[in-house]
Amino acid sequence: MIAQLQIALDAARQRAEPLEHVLLDGPPGLGKTTLAHVIAEEMGVADRIRITSGPAIVKTADLMSVLTNLEEGDVLFIDEIHRLNKVVEEFLYPAMEDFRVDFTIEGGMSGRTVNFRLKRFTLIGATTRAGMLTAAMRDRFGLRYHLDFYEADDLLEILRRSAQRLEISAGEEALRMLAERSRGTPRVANRLLRRVRDYAQVRADGKLGAGVVEKALAIEEIDGLGLDRLDRAFMNVVIDTYRGGPAGIEAIAATMGQSRDTLEDMVEPFLLQRGFVTRTRQGRCVTQKAYLHLGLPIPDIGPARTPAPDDTGLFES
């Protein structure tokens, strides 16, 4: 992704024109907003990036005021772009393709439509649910990138920089331990670093060692693989209440007293990636790995059972 984006940026600068519209998708906390600022910086318009979100744009007039104030080459960043309402989304289409909008002035029989020409700009859209975007919206982005969870080495580099900025004295082993328990997410890594700093300040000598990190994360209820209390509660509900699954996400959310969006955005992506949970047409199921991690016996029957090689289907002889 970095190489592809670098080529697109270099080409746009050589042609002295704005970058094509960019769509960034991935779980929350992976740096979509930060990447938008990096793109603006690379294009030389760091002080001319306009930031808004899908839920904040309620009417076409809200979007109209933003678009008409953009200068040549400006960057417009819309977070949670999948939450734009249908009318606003369709109003945005000609602005993205032809850099013009048709705006209706007044209403009723005396109303009239005025065509406004816009300055060429770059729209960067960010979403945690790319599947909720319409095909018409996705196709209008020339550059589309998916952000995945980070490796521990990448998070370690981020934590080194964060520790330096926060003036924290931290050992390499302590930072690596934090990186490995940060769910592959920079936002989580920085949050845990601040919590461990607080613990070190109150209960230790202010220095972050491996022992201090271990004790601080135990208080935060973060286990060795980075799972928190909500992750373990999700798996326990599926195991205890729904016998390992399958169970619908609405049923799981109601049992846990959580919203569906919370589970789908904050819990499920990491559990799916780590292989603790699977999705089926009937619902969510836990895997053998989840039973082992929670220290529970693996049932002989049910979704967690691995079929024997000689298992045959209904119509097989």
To the nearest 10 degrees (0 to 180), the angle between helices 172-180 and 186-203 is 130
CB 121 within 8 A of CB 70: yes
Name the one residue in this structure whose structure tokens are 């998916």: 146
Instruction: Give 279-284 contacts, CB < 8 A, sequence gap 24+.
Output: 280/245, 280/246, 282/245, 282/246, 283/242, 283/245, 283/246, 283/247, 283/248, 283/249, 283/251, 284/238, 284/245, 284/246, 284/247, 284/248, 284/249, 284/252
From residue 107, how far is each of 22, 89, 97, 162 by CA, in Å? 34, 20, 26, 53
Q: How far apart are CA 128 and CA 146, in angstroms?
A: 10
CB 125 within 8 A of CB 78: yes
Query: Is 32 an active-site residue?
Result: yes
Query: Is 312 an active-site residue?
Result: no
Q: Which of 32, 83, 197, 284 is catalytic?
A: 32
117 DSSP 8-state letter: E
Query: Is 128 an active-site residue?
Result: yes
270 DSSP 8-state letter: H
**295 torsion bin: left (phi>0), alpha (psi -120 to 50), beta (else):** left
Cα angle for residues 213, 27, 137 (degrees, 5° grid): 160
Query: Is 165 an active-site residue?
Result: no
Query: Is 198 an active-site residue?
Result: no
Q: Which of 25, 60, 74, 79 is catalytic?
A: 79
Q: Which of 119, 160, 187, 289 is catalytic?
A: 187
Q: Which of 127, 128, 185, 287 is catalytic?
A: 128
Residues acting as catalytic residues: 32-33, 79, 128, 187
